[in-house]
Chains A and B, each alone.
Chain A
Amino acid sequence: MSLAIANLLRAAPDDEGAIDRFLRDHEFPLVEGTSATFVFRGNVDAVHLRHWVFGLGSQQPFHRLDNSDFWYLTLELPQRSRVEYKLEIQQGGHSRWIRDPLNDQIAHDPFGANSVCAGEGYERPEWTNFDPDARAGTLEEVVLPRTPFGGPRRLTVYLPARFRVSRRYRLLVVHDGGDYLRYSSLKEVLDNLIDRLEVAPLIVAMTHPEDRLVEYADDPRHADFIVNTVVPYMEEHYPLYEAVSARCLMGASFGGVASLSTAWRYPGAFGRLLLQSGSFAFTDIGENRRGPLFDRVVSFVNGFREAPGRLAEKVFVSCGTYESLIYENRSMVPLLQATGMDIRYEEARDGHNWENWRDRLRTALSWLFPGPLWMVYE
């Protein structure tokens, strides 16, 4: 099959309207089989694709069509992949990075947002979308007045649909609750998975950090906050099962470090851990090359890797294969398994972003807190 861009290249020299029609008739990036064609239009000096696929050269030059203002680049894109990228535009000796003006698909990560290109076969899971037929849970805001950080902290609490104080519930504590709600559709995901009986009804405590890169990097105040402030507050105000098997701590990126670090400092406080793309940077030898923000992380992860312990009963770990952290996460799995904990590990052809973490929630939560799917027919 001839790619559309190849047809354009053949036609364009003799057809002035070919580029306009090409842009009008397609959506971009143009995905055809395992090929993705990126385009840019503008009178600039050069265009590069800057992508976040670990293992590939991160800078790919666009080609200019003759002397026109039309730039293009075709890359191989495996099926069901999601690749984050920006365009680097060079003009008049200056360079700027922009999101693709022809693509409104965006992936969010803890540091911002990028354009995203989805390969053939990737579809946003339908259970992540709002379902008007699903019974909806509720969100309520509470403030914890005294915390180890010295000031008050806000919690967002999710109560499942048909919440009753006379029932008992499992507790899920979520780092970066606001981002999970905003970018990972956490409320819709919880509503849908609980309504579909795939996940047991949960109460969810979502935390909101003030300085996550400091607090999440093995900060003892943070672990203290989670175990000795958040959990006791939830126990006092909500009907929870007492067993640690009914407690889960989760987080992504630095939030994954915070989850593991908290469990490490308080082993047995949580029976379940959900670690998504944890920033588990370590050094076998030499210095940390990820910058000073990672110094405490590396110190903690090195210590954990030296003497891994049994922190919980079940741990779900996920990571995108295009992330720079894929090596760190993969290598964490056998260490965790060796402790005797029940470990599940899942990879996807995706990056370090909230949509990747959203798409993993079904398998993660249904494994950690399975619902009564097989027994209940309402």
Chain B
Amino acid sequence: MYTESPKPATGVLLGPQRLAVTVDAELDALQVDGPVAMITCGWQEREEEDRELHDALGKRAVNLNLHARGDAVFLDDRELRDAHRAKQDRLRQLQVLYRGRVEHAVAAVFDLQAARGPADLIASEITAAIEAIRLVDRQHLARVTLLNRDYEDEMSPSSRPVVAGHREEIAEILSGCGAVAIAGGNVATLLNRLRLFGLDELLVGRTILAWSAGAMALTDRIVLFHDSPPQGRGNAEILDAGLGLFPSLVALPHARRRLLLDDRRRVSLFARRFAPARCVTLDERSRLLCDGEKYRAGSVTRALCDGGDVVALETWSL
């Protein structure tokens, strides 16, 4: 479902787990009892290849199989499938158009950052140029939200029998679990499956451990990013609203690989563009704990700052 931001969650956002598993220690630290619900639908057709994660979770994990359930839903309900595909096509087209606008707006900031002249005048022009990007971002997010809401109003996925059936099963599984672990992968697929089965509501009040795309999907805006891709300009872009369970954050998994963190101009632009949300790096062994009222970061977790620095995080209240 597509809902307003709910109450902040309790849990922890982590860095990538493939090469540095920390989720097991986090489970212990959170004193989680009982089974752990596991969401690996970001892995798409590899969803069921979860043995390593199952072991890391103490062999007490139950995979919610959201990807397979989604496939089953679309196989059963062709009308919903067609509407979903049409919506996704529209979203992709919209993303391309938005990307073009962002490209020009970001180029203006880079031009100003390299400009010569009175520092105060340049600074105020940069501020205005960043505000222009923020406007483009806000407009895009509003359009994406509208497209999603139109789809939900028209198709009412949650009330369709096959979806409702799966949702009941998922709710039943969750009721017996002490926590939910959400892995990374394809963030769009992950978000779509979470929404389709109403996980935004079902996750409220639960202890959550999420990493990489899983962490991104739980923030209130999903920002796609890579400063030096082999193709394209490398401008960050907003994909969609997230579930908002970990609000006021932009989650940046693999930041060391994906971002030029030594480039102060890029760091500054990133931080200012998405302020007041904090842009938090989630590399291996990173952790950001939320108790529902405040965030507390691990020692290797960093934030991008307006001035272009990347610094350790203090505890802060929501």
Contact = CB atoms under 8 A, between A and B. Distances in A.
A-B interaction:
yes
Interface of A: 133, 162, 164, 166-167, 196, 198, 362-363, 366-367, 370, 372-378
A46 to B, nearest CB: 46
B314 to A, nearest CB: 26
Q: Interface on chain A toward B: helix, strand, loop, or mixed SS?
A: loop
B216 interface: yes
Given A367-B230, A378-B16, A378-B185, 10 more contacts: A162-B46, A162-B49, A366-B231, A373-B226, A375-B186, A376-B42, A377-B187, A377-B216, A378-B184, A378-B212
B210 to A, nearest CB: 11
Interface residues of B, number: 23
B229 A377 contact: no
Contacts of A196: 257
A324 B18 CA distance: 47
Contacts of A370: 231
A367 B46 contact: no
B256 to A, nearest CB: 13
B92 to A, nearest CB: 11
A375 B187 contact: yes
Interface of B: 16, 18-19, 42, 45-46, 49, 184-188, 212-213, 216, 224, 226, 229-231, 253-254, 257
Contacts of A198: 229-230
Contact of B224 (A167, A374, A378): A374
A374 B185 contact: no
Contacts, number: 51
B66 to A, nearest CB: 16
Contacts of B19: 133
Q: Which of the listed residues A363, A373, A377, A378 has the most CB atoms from chain B within 10 Å of its own CB?
A: A377
* 5 pairs of A and B residues whose beta carbons are closest in the complex: A366-B230, A377-B213, A377-B212, A377-B253, A378-B184
B231 A376 contact: no
Nearest to B16: A378
B259 to A, nearest CB: 12
B230 A362 contact: yes
Contacts of A362: 230
Contacts of A374: 224, 226, 229
B230 A363 contact: yes
B186 A367 contact: no
Contacts of A164: 45-46
A376 B186 contact: yes
Nearest to B49: A162
A146 B216 CA distance: 53
A31 B168 CA distance: 70
Given A167-B45, A366-B231, A375 B184 contact: no
Contacts of A372: 186
B262 to A, nearest CB: 16
Nearest to A199: B230
A166 B71 CA distance: 15
B18 A375 contact: no
Contacts of B229: 198, 366, 373-374
Given A375-B224, A377-B213, A377-B216, A367 B185 contact: no
Contacts of A376: 42, 184-187, 213
